[in-house]
Amino acid sequence: METALAKRPEMTPPPTTDEDQRKLCFEMFNAYWEDAFNKGIPFDTIGTMSISAALFALVAKHGPETTAEFVQDLGKSILEDKFTSQRQTN
């Protein structure tokens, strides 16, 4: 399976601030999730594939050890309810 990291399209200059980059990325991910869901893909499948793609990119950029530490910290954050919002069912 090819990832976006492996085949980069021509890029337009990103917004200059970190906050603006995060906002734009969030909007793009929301559009992707909505499009995939509207095509019949369940949220849990979209989420699993999104996490897998992110992990491939993080390992490629930062290596397996740093990525594993990041994932462990995410696990702690999840258990501390930092990602809790209203749970949706399909």
pTM: 0.65
Judge contact between 43 and 90, C-beta under 8 A. yes
Whether the Cβ atoms of residue 43 and residue 88 lie closer than 8 Å to each other: yes
What pLDDT score was predicted for residue 51?
A: 94
As a whole number, mean pLDDT of residues 16-44 equals 93
CB 3 within 8 Å of CB 53:
yes
**31-58 per-position pLDDT tens digit:** 999 999 999 999 999 999 999 999 999 9
Give the residue extent of every domain in the chain.
Answer: 18-79
